[in-house]
Chains A and B, each alone.
Chain A
Amino acid sequence: MDTTDTNKALAQVLARLDAIDARLDQIVDRQKKSDELFSEMTPILRDVMGTATTRLDELDKKGYFAFGREALGVADRVITGFAPEDVRQLGDAVVGILQTVRALTQPNVLEIASQASEVLERSEQAEPLGLIGMVRATRDDDVQKGMAVMMDVMRHVGRAARAVRDEHRPSAADEKKAKLAGVLGPRKKKALGVERQLPPTVAPRAAAPANLGPPAACAVPSSKPREVAAVIDGVAFGADGHLVDPKVWTEEIAVKVAAVQGVELDESRWAVVRFARADFVATNVSPNIRRITQGTSLATKDIYTLFPKAPARTVARIAGIPKPAGCI
């Protein structure tokens, strides 16, 4: 792409950005107006909500008959104003309406509504928010949660709206969509606003030597040929203090190496050494500390208590296996 093309493209991008900016200004203006409306409405809304709660509570206390009497009064007015067909439809809907009202007046729902109205009351203190500010706000956990709730509400509203529309008649747009779907195949469904699953804080430790998978790729050692640095009692050691040939290992060698390393092999240490040995035989890779903690029931802390200095290396030396590779 040459410079003129680039400049043209840049100019287009800038023009579009200007358009977005103008539109944002409009949105902010509209937001301000609606904020004023809300601040006026808030006290009224609160009153209405308060009255509604007490009224419903009273109705509940009085019981079915009092409620029925009220309903009869309503029905009386309805009969004079509506045709029989309308009344039948209303009767079908009444239970649904009441259930909705009841759900809306649950204490936790009201609590949310009251908190939200308090925020609206303080709306003049709120700083104007730009696009960047909006993005930054989405990093807040509470805002994310709120967005998830809003998305869920929107999804339900959308679903209900579609259900209502489908019930009435298939629109021209639907027919078009169906045609397109026939050509393109089913559309992928996107999960919007689904709450993110946080990873568990710490992976649970295996209670007993578990069936470990193959070691991580980063733990595989280099395949350099090993040189003999010293031969002690007929056993060859490399310069790093590990056995050159793991196959010549015996428990006597382990005890002697442990003595040189300054650790006494008791039963719990033997368990670690045996696990390291078995894991090496099975995978041909010396286990690092993480793998030892996964394969035994010990915590990292315990391993460092048993072998205070460089645990994985010490264990590998005692178990007659190569120096463990990898960073973890």
Chain B
Amino acid sequence: METANNKRKVAIICSHGGLDEVYPALILGNAARQSGIDAFVFFTFWGLDAITTSKVDHLHVNLAGNAASGMPTILGGLPGMESFAASMMKKQMTELDLPTVKEMLQILEESGAELYACELAMKMFKRTREDLLPQVKDVITAGDFYDLAEGAQIIFT
């Protein structure tokens, strides 16, 4: 079993910045490392928020258009609703002893998973390397992503 895992590798693309969209990417990456699978996470578009120092602690939950939230879309769009939902979710995560996004990123980096930011998205959102958390290994292009992901299973979240 371990020998099979030796060759396994996952490339996770995180393209959304909602709390509920960032966690799956980070948990999958961490679970891969815990199972002895090589992993790296590529943050692009709104996913960049998760590795941006000023944004990482303020990720929200997207309610509008989320059928599973149990809340009518028209209510989900009200100002303050997203922060409310995010704080509720954060509370439940604390109860489960789930690390914060920032801690998760640190755990990922320490466990040997690599974190990359998308160069194009960085230009689009006018962010520089200094805006990103120190855990981010590099800013790469889509082409670099495919070089890194050679032989990996690709997961898009």
| A interface with B by C-beta (< 8 Å) | 135, 139, 141, 198-199, 201-203, 216-218, 240-241, 261, 288-290, 299-301, 304, 309-313, 327-328
Cβ-defined partner of A328 (8 Å) among B6, B27, B35: B27
**B contact residues around A301 at 8 Å (CB):** 110-111
Q: Is B71 interfacial (CB 8 A cutoff)? A: no
Task: State the CA gap A289–B99 with chains docked (Å).
Answer: 12
**B contact residues around A217 at 8 Å (CB):** 95-96
B110 and A304: CB pair below 8 A? yes
B111 and A300: CB pair below 8 A? yes
**A contact residues around B130 at 8 Å (CB):** none
Q: Residue on B with the closest CB to A139?
A: B58
Kindly provide the distance from the CB of A261 to the nearest chain B CB, expressed in whole angstroms. Answer: 8
Task: State the CA gap A198–B90 with chains docked (Å).
Answer: 13
A300 and B36: CB pair below 8 A? no
**A contact residues around B96 at 8 Å (CB):** 216-218
Q: What 9 additional pairs, Cβ within 8 angstroms, besides A218-B98, A289-B111, A328-B98? A: A203-B99, A218-B96, A240-B1, A241-B1, A299-B110, A300-B106, A300-B111, A304-B111, A310-B2
Task: State the CA gap A287–B35 with chains docked (Å).
Answer: 15
A300 and B34: CB pair below 8 A? no
A309 and B54: CB pair below 8 A? no
Task: State the CA gap A311–B2 with chains docked (Å).
Answer: 12
Task: State the CA gap A139–B59 with chains docked (Å).
Answer: 11
Task: State the CA gap A5–B62 with chains docked (Å).
Answer: 30
B34 and A311: CB pair below 8 A? yes
Task: State the CA gap A232–B150 with chains docked (Å).
Answer: 39
Residues A202 and B110 in contact in the complex (CB < 8 Å), given A310-B2, A327-B30, A327-B31: no
